[in-house]
């Protein structure tokens, strides 16, 4: 009841894009990778997905494996067609066992699909020539699409930001604050970096579960440039949704902190956007981050240790803050 009364005294946000009826949603709103936690139904699979967006957003290893799998599958398909037509319609084939004959037509298919055409094997007859003509045409289209995808993935503006695995409730000045850390992990240069935090709390109101959304004011919400790590700090004051919550309250309440970041990438001359979120069990009570950068030996450069972005020390919170959260 104390939480319910407290939430009524705070102004809730209504422009988050998420509904307020908790019974109509499930799980977190935003996944750690920044994608909405939504599964779409009611339309066919061809309309449900943008294949271009899917291929651009796919992980590198999966993307390369999929291209290789499609390439092998297409050539196996056409090799089967040539084999059914008859290898006698392919001049220059070194015949032998069925397996050797199939490998011969498979490599002929690969040479036709890529339009390499070494010349040792060539089609004879209408059927073999027609199939090889269509395969060469399909190969040109396929490689044009693959080239476009490679270029799109290579040239797509990205933030390349790494977030700490956990958020912390840490000492801050004479009280406490909600904190998490981020850092660029590639050699890109970001400027005009802006951060916005939205807190979602699931709470029972009049016997019905509802989602309330609150803006979290930050100590610093915008910086001119981001080269090292940046610890995002939301001071827990009497205006904060965190105010009055104990460690047990946070653990037992459905809380999600949605993070929205926008920055300008000078190389692409374009804005980049990234998102993530933290839920209750990813918030550590009573901790502070360790430093993750230091000068080199001659103090001419700064060394940023990205492998330490998740490192923190356990600490006790200030007595006034503990007393406040206990009331």
Q: What is the pLDDT of residues 5-33, one digit of tens each?
A: 556 566 666 666 666 665 566 777 888 88
Output the CA torsion 304→305→310→312 (10° steps): -90
Kindly give the pairing relationship between strand 283-285 and strand 222-226. Answer: unpaired
* 18-20-23 Cα angle (round to 5): 105
Q: Which residue has the tokens 């240790």?
A: 305
CATH number among 3.40.630.30, 3.40.50.300, 2.60.120.200, 1.10.287.70, domain 47-155: 1.10.287.70
Per the document, the length of the chain is 327
3-class DSSP state for residue 109?
helix
DSSP-derived secondary structure letter, 11: P
Nearest CA to 263 out of 253, 275, 271, 255 is that of 271
Instruction: Tell whether pTM > 0.85.
Output: no
Q: Which residue has the tokens 């005294």?
A: 9
pLDDT at 7: 60
User: What's the pLDDT tens digit per position in 100-125?
Assistant: 999 999 999 999 999 888 888 888 98
User: What's the pLDDT tens digit per position in 136-145?
Assistant: 999 999 999 9
* Bridge partner residues of 279 (DSSP): 256
Task: Look at the domain 2-39+158-326 and name its fold.
Answer: Immunoglobulin-like (2.60.40)
Structure tokens at 146: 């693959």
* 2-39+158-326 and 47-155 have identical folds: no
| Domain ranges (residues) in the chain | 2-39+158-326, 47-155
Q: Is the distance from CB of 262 to CB of 272 less than 8 angstroms?
A: yes
Quickly list H helices, the chain: 2-8, 45-48, 51-57, 60-85, 98-113, 126-155, 247-252, 319-326
pLDDT tier, 303 (very low <50, low <70, confident <90, very high otherwise):
very high
pLDDT at 322: 45
Q: Which residue has the tokens 């006790």?
A: 316
User: What's the pLDDT tens digit per position in 204-260?
Assistant: 666 677 778 889 999 999 999 999 999 999 999 888 888 888 888 888 888 899 999
């Amino acid at each position: 009841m104390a939480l319910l009364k407290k939430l009524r005294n705070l102004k809730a946000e209504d422009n988050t894009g998420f509904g307020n009826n908790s019974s109509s949603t499930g799980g977190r709103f935003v996944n750690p990778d920044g994608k909405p936690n939504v599964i779409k139904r009611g339309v066919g699979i061809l309309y449900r997905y943008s294949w271009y967006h899917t291929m651009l957003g796919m992980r590198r290893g999966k993307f390369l494996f999929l291209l290789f799998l499609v390439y092998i599958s297409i050539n196996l398909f056409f090799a089967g067609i040539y084999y059914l037509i008859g290898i006698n319609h392919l001049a220059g084939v070194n015949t032998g066992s069925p397996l050797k004959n199939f490998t011969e037509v498979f490599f002929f298919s690969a040479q036709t699909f890529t339009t390499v055409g070494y010349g040792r094997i060539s089609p004879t007859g209408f059927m073999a020539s027609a199939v090889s003509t269509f395969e060469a045409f399909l190969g040109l289209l396929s490689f044009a699409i693959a080239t476009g995808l490679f270029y799109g993935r290579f040239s797509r503006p990205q933030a390349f930001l790494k977030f700490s695995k956990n958020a912390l409730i840490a000492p801050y000045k004479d009280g406490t604050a909600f904190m998490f850390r981020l850092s660029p992990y590639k050699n890109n240069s970001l400027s005009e970096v802006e951060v916005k935090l939205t807190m979602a709390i699931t709470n029972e109101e009049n016997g019905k579960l509802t989602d309330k959304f609150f803006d979290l004011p930050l100590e610093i919400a915008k910086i001119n440039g981001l080269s090292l790590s940046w610890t995002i700090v939301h001071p827990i004051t009497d205006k904060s949704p965190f105010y009055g919550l104990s460690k047990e309250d946070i653990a037992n309440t459905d809380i999600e902190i949605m993070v929205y970041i926008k920055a300008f990438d000078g190389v692409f001359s374009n804005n980049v956007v990234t998102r993530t979120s933290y839920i209750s069990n990813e918030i550590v009570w009573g901790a502070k981050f360790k430093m993750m950068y230091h000068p080199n030996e001659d103090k001419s450069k700064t060394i940023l240790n990205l492998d330490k972005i998740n490192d923190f020390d356990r600490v006790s919170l200030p007595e006034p803050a503990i007393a406040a959260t206990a009331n």
